[in-house]
Chain A
């Protein structure tokens, strides 16, 4: 049990729609990272938030956006959904923020998004 929860568990959307995925981090963890994991692949970093500010971004277009709230919850928003956005979306919380390594990430169970 990592103490990280995500909702919903599964979601089906159609191409062009927008989606919001939610994550609740471990209490006290100031950093949340979001990952996209396609079937048979390792997680790919989307972006990270530290104390409600974006703190790094992977190779994902601007239609992937996020928010982090003071109560250790966060959101991943994806606009104009495409078929290739179908994947398991994972959030991971950590104490983080220092940028000098030494961090440990704990993952939630993920949200399975299917885009039709």
Chain B
């Protein structure tokens, strides 16, 4: 099935630094979702994007729906220790309702 390429695979940053990660697809998507997952738990929705070019914020998190509709970006500003976890992007096309997930970005914040 569809595979989303998510990068970087892992990040180690100092507390207070900003973080950027992205997700690319070979197909056009109509919806992009960003999730955070803690070990052994289900993914928690962070931001939902529905329109090409859309820029949406949720506190220190900002995500953008790429103009080509084949990519999306997530930025975290002023990282804190509780930002630690695995971040997944998920995209949905215009045929069917299936969401395709990225491979995840593992974030470690060093106090």
Q: A residues bordering B, Cβ < 8 Å?
A: 2, 4, 6, 31, 33, 35, 41-45, 48, 50, 55-56, 58-59, 88, 90, 92, 94, 96-110, 112
Contacts and interface: CB of A to CB of B under 8 A. Distances in A.
Interface residues of B, number: 31
A100 B94 contact: yes
A105 B96 contact: no
B25 to A, nearest CB: 13
Contacts of A92: 99
Question: Is chain A's binding surface mostly helix, strand, loop or mixed?
Answer: loop
Interface string B27-68: 001110101000011111100101000000000000000000
Interface string B8-37: 000000000000000000000111010100
B97 A103 contact: yes
A107 B43 contact: yes
B50 A109 contact: no
B1 A106 contact: no
Given A42-B104, A58-B1, A97-B97, 19 more contacts: A33-B97, A42-B88, A42-B102, A42-B103, A44-B1, A45-B98, A55-B96, A90-B43, A99-B94, A101-B29, A101-B30, A101-B92, A103-B31, A103-B99, A104-B45, A107-B35, A107-B43, A109-B41, A110-B42
